[in-house]
Amino acid sequence: MTDKQVTIQREFGGGGRPRPIMLAIAGDSGTGKTTITAGLVKALGAERMTSVGADDYHRYDREERKGLPFTPLHPDCNYLDIMEQHLHHLSLGHPILKPIYNHDTGTLDRPEYVEPREFVIVEGLHPLHSKVSRACFDITVFLEPPEDIRIKWKLARDTKKRGYTTEQVRKELEKREPESAEFIRPQRASADIVVRFSPIEERGETADDPLSAYLLLRPTISHPDLSSILSDDIRTAMHLKLRRDADGKPVDSVHIHSYAKREETRQVEQAIWDELGVDEPVPDALGMIDSETRDEPLAVTQLILLYHLIQARKAVDTNG
Amino acid sequence: MTDKQVTIQREFGGGGRPRPIMLAIAGDSGTGKTTITAGLVKALGAERMTSVGADDYHRYDREERKGLPFTPLHPDCNYLDIMEQHLHHLSLGHPILKPIYNHDTGTLDRPEYVEPREFVIVEGLHPLHSKVSRACFDITVFLEPPEDIRIKWKLARDTKKRGYTTEQVRKELEKREPESAEFIRPQRASADIVVRFSPIEERGETADDPLSAYLLLRPTISHPDLSSILSDDIRTAMHLKLRRDADGKPVDSVHIHSYAKREETRQVEQAIWDELGVDEPVPDALGMIDSETRDEPLAVTQLILLYHLIQARKAVDTNG
């Protein structure tokens, strides 16, 4: 099956069943995929949204991987053909029997029956790896914090939640680096939105300061009209810039400062939300880190993703 | 996806990849599915044939099933939608990640990556359960030994190989009977070939005698021309009869006597084989029970299935 066939099949529909809206959140390990996803699931409600970890398609368990010349970042370490097959099924509204990789034990466990709801978020290392997998998504996101931030996040999680030592994580990061460059980072080029949480270097901020969000909005999907939303009075906390990406192609770049105030982001959120023309108020579950701290750049980022999810849902429901 | 869509898609091919020939062997637990399959795999070679157990699509493990009002024969006890999806993929030449039910431990284990080879045999309780699953097969077989033979076989296997007591097996059989009648035996109606290994009651034989084979050959596929093959001199050991099935529909009925001699069956096998017009000799791996005893009725039965597999392969390869 080619990517074109997948696209056509999705547009024609799968026999009357309403197809779900599919959002990919790709990025290396420790880039914040789970945090972004959690807020979106909370905002829309778990009963409307299925969240799928795309990193369960491991070909080998932890024990077997020890003797191998590559890390889980390498395509050969995963059943990416099965991942594609499953993404395709989900995108047509079909259930799948998803493999499970147990992060605690490092074993491949009993698979799980997953039925796609109205919205499906797929987060992982490889969701944008191939043309066919990309054709399964309505919205594609790539996360790329600066490397020192990512290492800090990954260290925190892997030592606290996955039982590794700092030394082990650092060694693994080193081993993974060439495969990250070869197989993970190229997916950035296929994302409609690139998200970078980062300190503002020009202000001398470091990884320990609250982070700003830099969003790259590619014209591959139709974004909310931020040029009219970001009026003069909030431009200190948030601004929009037309620029060229590293590849020379035109993009909108949105910068949401870490010191953006709640009342400013509230205005922006409301304006984005109003464009959707839906009845409900702006969801208040956004921007939460570890379900404690509210973070304005994260909240606005999630709201933009939410905007796309709802917009895509409306478009599919209207046209077929 | 409807059965018609599946049929059309299979005929049109999956993008240049040669699709495998799919054979279903359906039947209740203990009907001899594994024995028949083993001989076919041996005859064609494991490198040309994939054999898939369709009973791994359990929704619950053994522990969870204890509290449930139904047995594994009930569709609700299985992910039959996923089984259909996987059969469809295999029939198009796609790989699947197949769930695994561990008969020793009663647990659902790490799934297995399965790539279809030239031929795929799917044996299990439900491969002919739905229209869509049936559309995935080129040849469909249903096994129905008399109930006392089946109980004898099931008792032998479950007590010797699966660690159950005789009492447990008998109790389970009783519990399963209504579901066998409702969900397993109706699949007989969809089989191209119905196989019954049975003693010849008119001769006073019992379950302990060597068994004859009764084959019902439905005109749903094109069988070897047995009316000319079964010449007068071997008609004592094997005969063909035109009759009506229980539903009134016309069928060919072949009876291969338990006392058929090797030289007689050899003639018949050779004649069936000659119709195929292939270069290789008749495979000699057929008819083996527990890799020790050669059984003539089993050998002829397997040879007829082999005939259909090779015939179907030739037809697909010729027509594209």
CATH number at residue A45: 3.40.50.300
Subunit contact A14:B1, Cβ cutoff 8 A: yes
Q: Are the C-beta atoms of B302 and B314 separated by less than 8 Å?
A: no
Looking at the predicted structure, is the pLDDT value of residue A231 above 70?
no
Are A129 and A209 found together in one domain? no
* Interatomic CA distance for residues B19 and B145, integer angstroms: 32
* Interatomic CA distance for residues B14 and B91, integer angstroms: 9
Q: Per residue in A179-199, pLDDT tens?
A: 999 999 999 999 999 999 998
Subunit contact B94:A107, Cβ cutoff 8 A: no
* Interatomic CA distance for residues B84 and B81, integer angstroms: 5
Are A96 and A209 found together in one domain? no
**Which residues of chain B neighbour A109 with C-beta distances below 8 Å?**
110
Find the domain containing A16 and state its range.
1-139
Q: Per residue in A2-12, pLDDT tens?
A: 787 777 777 76
Q: What value does the mean pLDDT take over residues B257-286?
A: 87
Query: Nearest chain B Cα to A108, which residue?
Result: B110
Q: Does residue A228 sit within a domain?
A: yes
**Which residues of chain A neighbour B108 with C-beta distances below 8 Å?**
110-111
Counting residues of chain B whose pLDDT is more than 70, the rounded percentage is 96
Q: Per residue in A81-124, pLDDT tens?
A: 999 999 999 999 999 999 999 988 999 999 999 999 999 999 99
Are A12 and A128 found together in one domain? yes
Q: Rounded to two decimals, what is the model's pTM? A: 0.91
In total, how many domains does chain A have?
A: 2
| A15 at interface of B, judged by CB pairs closer than 8 A | yes
Subunit contact A95:B110, Cβ cutoff 8 A: no
Q: Are the C-beta atoms of A174 and A151 separated by less than 8 Å?
A: no
By Cβ distance, the residue of B81, B107, B113 closest to A79 is B113
Sequence-ordered list of residues with C-beta below 8 angstroms from that of B280, at least 6 positions apart, any chain: none
Are A219 and A309 found together in one domain? yes
Are A13 and A80 found together in one domain? yes
Are A38 and A133 found together in one domain? yes
| B115 at interface of A, judged by CB pairs closer than 8 A | no
Q: Does residue A38 sit within a domain?
A: yes
| B200 at interface of A, judged by CB pairs closer than 8 A | no
Sequence-ordered list of residues with C-beta below 8 angstroms from that of B27, at least 6 positions apart, any chain: B33, B123, B125, B142, B143, B144, B184
Residue A4 has what pLDDT? 76
Q: Report the amino acid identity of residue B318.
A: T
Confidence tier at B34 by pLDDT (50, 70, 90): very high
Q: Select from B97, B100, B107, B132 the residue whose CB has the most chain A CBs within 10 Å, as the one to mutate to test that interface.
A: B97
Q: Does residue A181 sit within a domain?
A: no
* Interatomic CA distance for residues B139 and B121, integer angstroms: 10
Q: Does residue A204 sit within a domain?
A: yes
Query: Nearest chain A Cα to B60, which residue?
Result: A110
Subunit contact A85:B108, Cβ cutoff 8 A: no
Residue A259 has what pLDDT? 86
Q: Does residue A239 sit within a domain?
A: yes
Looking at the predicted structure, is the pLDDT value of residue B155 above 90?
yes
Residue B228 has what pLDDT? 78
Q: What value does the mean pLDDT take over residues B99-122?
A: 96
| A110 at interface of B, judged by CB pairs closer than 8 A | yes
Helix ranges (DSSP H) in B16-61: 33-44
Are A198 and A132 found together in one domain? no
Q: pLDDT averaged over chain A?
A: 91
Residue A188 has what pLDDT? 97
Q: Are the C-beta atoms of A126 and A83 separated by less than 8 Å?
A: yes
Q: Does residue A280 sit within a domain?
A: yes
Q: Of A64-68, A118-122, A295-299, B289-293, where does mean pLDDT reach its minimum?
A: B289-293
Subunit contact B79:A97, Cβ cutoff 8 A: yes
Token pair for A138: 């309505």
Confidence tier at B16 by pLDDT (50, 70, 90): low
Confidence tier at A226 by pLDDT (50, 70, 90): confident
Q: What value does the mean pLDDT take over residues B87-109?
A: 95
Are A198 and A135 found together in one domain? no
Top pLDDT among B126 and B248 is at B126
Q: Does residue A87 sit within a domain?
A: yes
Closest Cα in chain A, distance from residue B301 (Å)? 36
Residue B71 has what pLDDT? 94
Q: What value does the mean pLDDT take over residues A67-79?
A: 95
Are A9 and A129 found together in one domain? yes
- The residue among B199, B162, B213, B120 whose CA lies nearest residue B29 is B162
Q: Does residue A92 sit within a domain?
A: yes
Confidence tier at A255 by pLDDT (50, 70, 90): very high
Mean pLDDT: which of A111-125, A278-292, B155-169, B229-243 is highest?
A111-125
Residue B7 has what pLDDT? 78
